[in-house]
């Protein structure tokens, strides 16, 4: 398979009995589903596995699904990795995203499969990194086909969900391949309408309340060509239960404003912890350098960062200054 030595994977798994898999922090559908797909591969290759998630699995995801036996809200720092032969780092380019608080020192064999923008700091025995894929789940779909692994209909449906959410309904990575993949999934029994319903029609009224507040706060910087909006922790508290709050405002609104190149969303999720989401309005405009500058990462045209240890106003000004410097440098 292109860019990936699946025979090397088989070799490693031949010597492995127990594997450990992790969802990343604030797990999104792709993070969860890539773990389920890898577990399916492992099971059929005779390797037992456990899936841990440092955070809770979203209720919207679990609704109407079987029990996937993922160990949620797990204290991954207390886990003894020596009980396992191999560890999978899926859908991440930084091991800290799995919830490890300290420097990752374990010598366990790590296999890393991911579609995020370069800058991968994971010390892995085997890796497959390809930013042209819509999602890690799409990569694992092709890996499963390559290894002749059977995928049950329920998992086929989940792969479709991972693609719809990670591309934000084909707003990103709308490649020929991803449409072909979706075509294949539907031919194999995936139900597009059910997936669309699960992804697009689950809004609660307080979701709209939050959006209303974020839209009211939105400002346009005409000189530097972007919009931004923000909310402090005091006002955000009542919306704290909303998932992917920052990201959704960025996807749905901040990157759609006429006359701008990109949009920026800042949410003080905890006191002195500002979550930032940035999205290009103009595709290939590229905001990854700004994200890196802010200590975050993601894809060429979108991603996130977290600014810690600053009061809300200071953190917002810090981000805006960095943003204007970033634009100025490119002019």
Sign for the CA dihedral angle at 61, 67, 71, 72 comes to positive
Minimum distance from residue 91 beta carbon to Mn ion (Å): 4
Segment lying near Mn ion (by CB under 5 A), choices 74-82, 132-140, 178-186, 263-271:
132-140
Residue 138 binding Mn ion, by CB under 5 A: no
Considering the complex, state which of residue 27 and residue 263 has its C-beta at the smaller distance from Mn ion.
Answer: 27
Minimum distance from residue 30 beta carbon to Mn ion (Å): 3
Minimum distance from residue 143 beta carbon to Mn ion (Å): 15
Residue 168 binding Mn ion, by CB under 5 A: no
First CA to last CA distance, the chain? 41
Closest CA to 92 of 48, 41, 144, 136: 136
Considering the complex, state which of residue 168 and residue 268 has its C-beta at the smaller distance from Mn ion.
Answer: 168
Is residue 255 a contact partner of residue 278, using CB atoms and an 8 Å limit?
no
Minimum distance from residue 115 beta carbon to Mn ion (Å): 6
| Token pair recorded at residue 271 | 């006191």
The DSSP bridge pattern shows strands 126-129 and 18-23 to be: unpaired
Residue 251 binding Mn ion, by CB under 5 A: no
Q: Total residues contacting Mn ion (rule CB under 5 A)? A: 4
Is residue 182 a contact partner of residue 163, using CB atoms and an 8 Å limit?
yes
Is residue 194 a contact partner of residue 151, using CB atoms and an 8 Å limit?
no
Of the candidate residues 16, 40, 91, 111, the single one contacting Mn ion (CB under 5 A): 91
Minimum distance from residue 181 beta carbon to Mn ion (Å): 14
Residue 85 binding Mn ion, by CB under 5 A: no
Segment lying near Mn ion (by CB under 5 A), choices 87-95, 148-156, 276-284, 319-327:
87-95
Residue 30 binding Mn ion, by CB under 5 A: yes
Considering the complex, state which of residue 124 and residue 229 has its C-beta at the smaller distance from Mn ion.
Answer: 124
Segment lying near Mn ion (by CB under 5 A), choices 63-71, 103-111, 134-142, 275-283:
134-142
Considering the complex, state which of residue 135 and residue 277 has its C-beta at the smaller distance from Mn ion.
Answer: 135
Minimum distance from residue 312 beta carbon to Mn ion (Å): 29
Considering the complex, state which of residue 135 and residue 144 has its C-beta at the smaller distance from Mn ion.
Answer: 135
Segment lying near Mn ion (by CB under 5 A), choices 66-74, 96-104, 164-172, 237-245:
164-172
Considering the complex, state which of residue 35 and residue 47 has its C-beta at the smaller distance from Mn ion.
Answer: 35
Considering the complex, state which of residue 131 and residue 240 has its C-beta at the smaller distance from Mn ion.
Answer: 131
- Comparing every residue's Cβ against Mn ion, the nearest one is 30
CA–CA distance, 331 with 40 (Å, rounded to integer): 49
Considering the complex, state which of residue 182 and residue 227 has its C-beta at the smaller distance from Mn ion.
Answer: 182
Segment lying near Mn ion (by CB under 5 A), choices 28-36, 37-45, 47-55, 259-267:
28-36
Of the candidate residues 166, 168, 251, 268, the single one contacting Mn ion (CB under 5 A): 166
Residue 127: strand pairing partners: 112
Using the structure block, give the residue that is written with the tokens 């859908």. 91
Contact positions vs Mn ion (CB under 5 A): 30, 91, 135, 166
């Amino acid at each position: 398979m292109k860019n990936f030595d699946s025979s090397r994977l088989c070799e490693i798994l031949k010597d492995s009995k127990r594997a450990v898999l992790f969802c990343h922090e604030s797990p999104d559908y792709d993070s969860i589903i890539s773990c389920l797909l890898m577990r399916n591969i492992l099971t059929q290759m005779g390797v037992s596995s456990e899936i841990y998630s440092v955070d809770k699995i979203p209720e919207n995801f679990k609704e109407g699904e079987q029990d996937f036996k993922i160990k949620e809200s797990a204290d991954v720092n207390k886990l003894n990795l020596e009980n396992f032969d191999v560890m999978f780092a899926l859908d991440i380019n930084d091991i800290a995203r799995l919830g490890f608080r300290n420097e990752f020192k374990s010598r366990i064999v790590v296999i890393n499969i991911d579609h995020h923008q370069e800058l991968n700091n994971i010390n892995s025995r085997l890796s497959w990194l390809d930013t042209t894929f819509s999602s890690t789940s799409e990569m694992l779909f092709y890996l499963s086909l390559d290894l002749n692994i059977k995928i049950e209909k329920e998992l086929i449906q989940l792969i479709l969900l991972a693609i719809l959410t990670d591309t934000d309904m084909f707003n990103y990575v709308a490649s020929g391949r991803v449409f072909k993949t979706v075509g294949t999934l539907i031919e194999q029994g995936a139900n597009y309408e059910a997936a669309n319903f699960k992804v697009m029609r689950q809004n609660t009224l307080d979701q709209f309340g939050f959006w209303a507040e974020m839209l009211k706060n939105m400002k346009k910087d005409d000189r530097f060509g972007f919009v931004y909006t923000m909310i402090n922790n005091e006002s955000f508290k009542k919306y704290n239960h909303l998932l992917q709050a920052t990201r959704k405002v960025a996807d749905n609104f901040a990157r759609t404003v006429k006359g701008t190149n990109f949009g920026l969303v800042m949410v003080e999720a905890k006191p002195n912890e500002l979550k930032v989401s940035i999205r290009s309005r103009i595709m290939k405009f590229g905001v990854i350098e700004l994200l890196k500058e802010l200590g975050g990462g993601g894809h060429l045209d979108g991603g996130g960062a977290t600014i810690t240890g600053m009061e809300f106003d200071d953190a917002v000004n810090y981000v805006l200054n960095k943003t204007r410097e970033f634009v100025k440098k490119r002019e």
